[in-house]
């Protein structure tokens, strides 16, 4: 088996639905690598069972483990909570290389070539494009790096209060040093790009390999007509119709049937 893994994170049952669709989207394109999901205590036992049926590895992570003095220090910085949780991905040292994917991304085409890249490879952010977007990144698990990141976070904080600001400050030469660490935007096509520069989306959109539903237009918050199984995007997200429909098609075909009715109810009108 490969010693590479895709890695995602879910801190609750709702984001777990995203993780389930993400995993199915990776299976659909026949990835050769492992799927790992990190969960916190906020994910229910029933949902963990679902996750375990499609992910190869399920890792429980706990940001407030009082046995760890670094995490004790964190108690004074509650805003760094989710940030620190994502950093746990560096502790997955059973793998030699990983690609982290937010739970709100969906893979459209096989992207196994991403594992040829080195740490830290990521695509530009659409807000301030000398920062990378931390929804998709290639990295090497390492306890040393993990500790350095935690210490950096505790001493410097994060300029945006999240993992993206922290990782950009830590890997601060990303914008200027090595073009091979710039993933093409098609590996992390932020959904807002489809309207902010529509001609580019029309020109390059068919090449997109990974779509990222940044911001509030999360697929599981959209309305699905349960008869027709057509998604009705909320106002302002109409341009994402095609991608949202694919997310829901995967959800309905590959995920929904195995969920209990209670879990299914977390998503849209189902």
Residues that bind Mn ion (CB under 5 A): 102, 104, 135
Q: Where are the alpha helices (DSSP H) in 55-103?
A: 69-74, 81-87
Calculate helix-pair angle for 241-250, 13-28, nearest 10 degrees: 90
Residue 10, interface with ligand UDP (CB under 6 A)? yes
Confirm or reject binding of residue 175 to a copy of itself (CB under 8 A): yes
Integer Cα distance of 229 and 232 in angstroms:
9
CA torsion through residues 161, 189, 11, 36, sign: negative
Q: Using CB under 8 A, which of 41, 93, 116, 197 touches a copy of itself? A: 197
Measured from the CB atom, the residue of 49 and 180 that comes closer to ligand UDP is: 49
Q: Out of 47, 80, 102, 183, which residue is the one contacting ligand UDP (CB under 6 A)?
A: 102
Does residue number 242 form part of the binding site for ligand UDP (CB under 6 A)?
Answer: no
**In the complex, what is the shortest distance from the CB of residue 241 to a copy of itself, in angstroms, rounded to a whole number?**
19
**Shortest CB 15 distance to Mn ion, Å:** 10
Supply the minimum distance, in Å, between the C-beta of residue 32 and a copy of itself: 24
Q: Which residue in the block uniquely carries the two structure tokens 């992390």?
A: 188
**158 binding ligand UDP? (CB under 6 A):** no
Q: Out of 94, 156, 196, 260, name the contact with a copy of itself by CB under 8 A.
A: 196
For the four alpha carbons of 60, 31, 23 and 114, in that order, the dihedral sign comes to positive
Q: How far is the CB of 42 from ligand UDP (least distance, A)?
A: 8
Site map (CB under 8 A) of a copy of itself, residues 114-133, x = contact: ---------xxxxxxxxx--
Q: How many residues bind ligand UDP (CB under 6 A)?
A: 13
Sign of CA dihedral 44, 48, 49, 50: positive
Q: Note if the bond before 120 is cis, omega within 30 degrees.
A: yes
- Rounded to a whole number of angstroms, the minimum distance from the CB of residue 158 to ligand UDP is 13
What is the Cα–Cα distance from 57 to 152, expressed in whole angstroms?
A: 28
Nearest to 61 by CA among 28, 45, 38, 79: 38
Q: Which residues bind ligand UDP (CB under 6 A)?
A: 8-12, 15, 82, 102-104, 135, 214-215
């Amino acid at each position: 088996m490969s010693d590479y893994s895709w890695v995602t994170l879910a801190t609750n049952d709702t984001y777990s639905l995203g993780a389930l669709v993400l995993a199915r989207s990776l299976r659909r394109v026949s990835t050769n690598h492992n799927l790992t999901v990190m969960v916190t205590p906020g994910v229910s036992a029933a949902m963990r069972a679902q996750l375990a049926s499609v992910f190869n590895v399920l890792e429980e992570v706990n940001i407030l483990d009082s046995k760890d003095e670094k995490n004790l220090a964190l108690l004074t910085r509650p805003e760094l909570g989710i940030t620190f949780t994502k950093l746990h991905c560096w502790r997955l040292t059973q793998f030699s290389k990983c690609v982290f994917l937010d739970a709100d991304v969906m893979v459209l085409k096989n992207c196994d070539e991403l594992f040829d890249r080195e740490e830290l490879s990521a695509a530009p952010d659409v807000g301030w494009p000398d920062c990378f977007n931390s929804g998709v990144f290639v990295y090497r698990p390492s306890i040393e790096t993990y500790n350095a990141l935690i210490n950096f976070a505790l001493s410097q904080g994060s300029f945006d209060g999240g993992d993206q600001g922290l990782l950009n400050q830590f890997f601060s030469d990303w914008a200027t040093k090595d073009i091979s660490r710039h993933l093409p935007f098609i590996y992390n096509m932020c959904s807002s790009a489809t309207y902010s520069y529509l001609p580019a989306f029309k020109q390059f959109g068919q090449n997109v390999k990974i779509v990222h539903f940044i911001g509030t237009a999360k697929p599981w918050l959209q309305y699905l007509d349960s008869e027709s199984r057509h998604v009705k995007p909320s106002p302002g997200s109409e341009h994402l119709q095609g991608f949202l429909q694919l997310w829901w098609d995967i959800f309905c075909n590959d995920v929904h049937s195995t969920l209990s009715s209670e879990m299914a109810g977390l998503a849209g009108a189902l």
